[in-house]
Amino acid sequence: MTVEQIVFYVFATLTIVSALGVVTVRNSVQAVLCLVLTFFSAAVLWMLLEAEFLAVALVLVYVGAVMVLFLFVVMMLDVDFASLKQGFTRYVPLGILIAIGLLIGLYWVLRGELFGLEAMPEPAKHAADYSNVESLGMLLYTDYFYAFEIAGVILLVSIVAAISLTFRGRRERRGQSVPSQHRASKDERLHIIKMDAEVAQDDESETDDLEKAVGEKSGRTKGESS
Amino acid sequence: MNIDLMPMLPELFLLTATCILLLIDVFSKDFDRLQTYRLAQLSLLITGVMVIAQFPDLQYHLYQRHFILDPMAGIVKVSVIALSMVGMMFARPYILQRPILRGEYFILHLFAVLGMMVLAGGGSLLTLYLGLELLSLSLYALVAMHRHSTLASEAAVKYFVMGAIASGFLLYGMSMVYGVTGKIHITDIALYLETHQASLTLRFGLVFMVVAMAFKFGAVPFQMWVPDVYHGAPTSVTAFIASAPKIAAFALVIRILGYGFEQVLIDWQGMLIIMATLSIVIGNLVALAQDNIKRLLAYSAIAHVGYFLLGIIAGTGAGYSASFFYIITYAIMSLGGFGCLIYLAKGKQEVELISELKGLGQRNPWGGLLISFLFLSMAGIPPFVGFWAKLEVIRAVLDVDLVWLAVLAAVMSVVGLFYYLKVVKVIFFDAPESEIKVKAERGLRLALGITGVAVVALGLFPAQLLEVCRQAFQYL
């Protein structure tokens, strides 16, 4: 057994064990830390494949940024995980059954012959001066520039979406809001309780408004007004 | 290295215009967002003109074959842009009266159109997936725009979770296909399948991709989200997601199944037959029991997806063009169908139940007439375009000797008649409960007029559009 194989088996086992830990440990902070460990060991596996850039990016982006954010959220939000796990055991037998079924199905479909060493021979080792980042960059900015640009647009859309969904303006501001004043309709301020008022036949617009106001009140769902 | 960027000029222009608009909107002092709206419409118009100006007559594979420029992509882009413009005309008066009015609404609209254009011209699994994500992400945000409405938030979460699962399935399937073939381009996969036997793993990946596409379309048994999302989302957003994205999703299906996996037709045909049958039956039957118009239209959308799949099941160029015709006309009807709810809304009060339409024909003859046109067209009654669409897909299925499927489709469309005609009956033959006239804005009247007239005009002269759809698939 070569050193590489030993490293592979050690970290492959670690990946699986820590991934199992993510879903089994009770403490949610420990679960997040288990996920960090999973990413780390996966990064080592990538390193073995000579994909140094991806390995570093995984550690920097996932471990450094995403998981730290995740840890913040878990610590700051008072999520009652015990109550979330209510009814968990009830579905365990069914869940295990489905998992085993899926595992057998996947094994049957993805048997060794397709992804074994015959079908996918070991890639040749690169020389010491081979730069992973350089070749990745060459591909990304030439062959895949179209996809790269679209991915950038997707990130832009996610920023626009997140801001437009959460931004509510400065809250401490006491000034008047002209657009909301313009949009305010009579039936938001005025509540007409009694219905059987006599209305002249020719005065159509008044009938209109009155009925509208009453219709609004009965049909409108709660929390509509801003 | 010199790259000619002209072929993707429409996309580049739309992206640039949207980014500039984003900046203009931030600094705009216009409270009604009229400026943003007008500029958004203008940029869509210019993009549409650009697409038409360099309408391709051949199929080009450009930019390392990640980008396909062919008549089909051209038609998809033009129809998507036209429908989005009408969709924005419906949307503006609607959001003006609700706390949804933000410049981002129009900007996300434009990004969704960009996503659909990328999807239409996607030449590899990678670009197809990215286009789909760009489209979906914008749509999730649009559905969630109405922050104060619990229904809309519920719809947004459902749409997001379902969409994320579907994207996961799609990626999983794509990764398996890539694992087996080592190819990412649609044409390469088709070449691989010509020379190699399709392995079990490849078919397994195909199943995942078909399931993901069914999720996105809302075909039974992956339809659970459709009624809730269509009902809960702001009506203007529902009108949009029920129209243009369907055409883009059609392009996705054709690129993957029609171009990529044509050799294994037999494998996906069976799955699609099951989904089409179930969609037609369940969609039509459940729609019978609906009182709420939005839910009725949602179930009718499920049924229409079933009909539309019939043409793809045929697996021939004629079948694809029938489906293409069906989905374009359905998108027009669906946009008009949901748009009429905006047209009928009184202030913030929306029309919810079918019974609220009582006597609309007397209160507002023109509006009632246009709305009836749309519903009659969805039912598939002759002078309207819905009839030709149904006729074409059923003919396509008959051509490949699936007689039982054609009979089922015809029988279920008779069942479907019942609930469409119920709406028309309520509009024209029930006594009005109130004398209130519908006072819609000019933009709304125009938008409803466009969809209503389009349905009649295409119904009287379907030949041109049919011919265009046929030409789109001459390279298959």
Residues 119-178 of B with CB under 8 A from A: 124, 126-127, 130-131, 133-134, 137-138, 140-141, 144-145, 147-151, 176
Q: Which residue segment(s) compose the domain that B343 sits in?
A: 6-472
Residue B310 lies in a domain: yes
CA distance B167 to chain A (A): 14
If asked whether residues A132 and A154 sit together in one domain, one would say yes
Q: For residues B212 and B201, what is the distance between their CA atoms, to the nearest angstrom?
A: 17
B352 reaches A (C-beta below 8 A): yes
| Residue contacts between A and B (CB atoms, under 8 Å) | 117
Q: Given B96, B99, B102, which is nearest A226 (Cβ)?
A: B99
Residue B1 lies in a domain: no
Residues 13-72 of B with CB under 8 A from A: 15, 19, 22, 31-32, 63-64, 66-67
Residue B33 lies in a domain: yes
Q: For residues A174 and A171, what is the distance between their CA atoms, to the nearest angstrom?
A: 8
A220 reaches B (C-beta below 8 A): yes
* Cβ count within 10 A of residue B172: 16
With CB atoms and an 8 Å threshold, state whether A165 touches B150: no
Q: Residue type at B236?
A: S
If asked whether residues A77 and A4 sit together in one domain, one would say yes
Residue B11: closest CA among chain A residues belongs to which residue? Answer: A150
- Cα angle, residue B445 at apex, residues B440 and B449 outer, rounded to 5°: 155
Q: For residues B280 and B284, what is the distance between their CA atoms, to the nearest angstrom?
A: 6
Phi and psi at residue B226, to the nearest 5°: -60, -55
Residue A215 lies in a domain: no
Bridge partners of B72, per DSSP, are none
With CB atoms and an 8 Å threshold, state whether A221 touches B149: yes
B355 reaches A (C-beta below 8 A): no
* Cβ count within 10 A of residue B278: 17
Contact partners, residue B227, CB within 8 Å, separation at least 6: B295, B298, B299
With CB atoms and an 8 Å threshold, state whether B118 touches A212: no
Residue A221 lies in a domain: no
Bridge partners of B353, per DSSP, are B292
Of A112, A144, A166, the position where a domain reaches its end is A166
Exposed, middle or buried by CB within 10 Å (0-12, 13-18, 19+), for B399?
middle
Residue B180: closest CA among chain A residues belongs to which residue? Answer: A114
Residue A200 lies in a domain: no
ipTM of the complex: 0.92
If asked whether residues A3 and A82 sit together in one domain, one would say yes
Omega of the bond leading into B221 within 30 degrees of 0 (cis): yes
Q: State the DSSP H helix or E strand holding residue B67, giving kind and residue range, or none if neither.
A: strand B67-69
Q: For residues A37 and B186, what is the distance between their CA atoms, to the nearest angstrom?
A: 37
Q: For residues B234 and A62, what is the distance between their CA atoms, to the nearest angstrom?
A: 36
If asked whether residues A93 and A65 sit together in one domain, one would say no
Phi and psi at residue A214, to the nearest 5°: -70, -40
Residues 120-149 of A with CB under 8 A from B: 142-147
Q: Given A164, A216, A220, which is nearest B104 (Cβ)?
A: A164
If asked whether residues A72 and A82 sit together in one domain, one would say yes
Q: State the DSSP H helix or E strand holding residue A10, giving kind and residue range, or none if neither.
A: helix A3-24
Tally of domains within chain A? 3
Of A109, A125, A141, the position where a domain reaches its end is A125
Tally of domains within chain B? 1
Q: For residues B296 and B301, what is the distance between their CA atoms, to the nearest angstrom?
A: 9
If asked whether residues A132 and A106 sit together in one domain, one would say no
Q: Which residue segment(s) compose the domain that A100 sits in?
A: 87-125
With CB atoms and an 8 Å threshold, state whether B134 touches A154: yes
pLDDT by residue (tens digit) across A125-173? 888 788 888 888 999 998 899 999 999 999 999 999 998 888 876 665 5
Residue A4 lies in a domain: yes
A208 reaches B (C-beta below 8 A): yes
Q: Given A146, A182, A211, which is nearest B63 (Cβ)?
A: A146
* Axis crossing angle, helix B293-314 with helix B244-253, rounded to the nearest 10: 20
- Chain A interface mutation, best of B19, B130, B175, highest count of A Cβ atoms under 10 Å: B130
Q: Yes or no: say if B163 and B129 are a contact pair by the CB < 8 Å rule.
A: no
If asked whether residues A78 and A16 sit together in one domain, one would say yes
CA distance A48 to chain B (A): 20
Question: Dihedral (C-alpha) B52, B128, B317, B331: value to the nearest 10 degrees?
Answer: -60
Q: For residues B19 and A66, what is the distance between their CA atoms, to the nearest angstrom?
A: 27
Reported pTM: 0.88
Contact partners, residue B427, CB within 8 Å, separation at least 6: B357, B358, B359, B360, B361, B368, B371, B372
Could you list the pLDDT tens digit for every one of the 476 residues in chain B?
A: 577 888 889 999 999 999 999 999 988 887 778 899 999 999 999 999 999 998 988 888 888 889 999 999 999 999 999 999 999 999 998 888 887 778 889 999 999 999 999 999 999 999 999 999 999 999 999 999 888 888 999 999 999 999 999 999 999 999 989 988 889 999 999 999 999 888 888 888 999 999 999 999 999 889 999 999 999 999 999 999 999 999 999 999 999 999 999 888 888 999 999 999 999 999 999 999 999 999 999 999 999 999 999 999 998 889 999 999 999 999 999 999 999 999 888 777 788 888 888 888 888 888 889 999 999 999 998 889 999 999 999 999 999 989 999 999 999 999 999 999 999 998 888 888 777 777 778 888 899 999 999 999 999 999 989 998 888 887 76
If asked whether residues A35 and A92 sit together in one domain, one would say no
CA distance B130 to chain A (A): 7
Of A96, A125, A154, the position where a domain reaches its end is A125
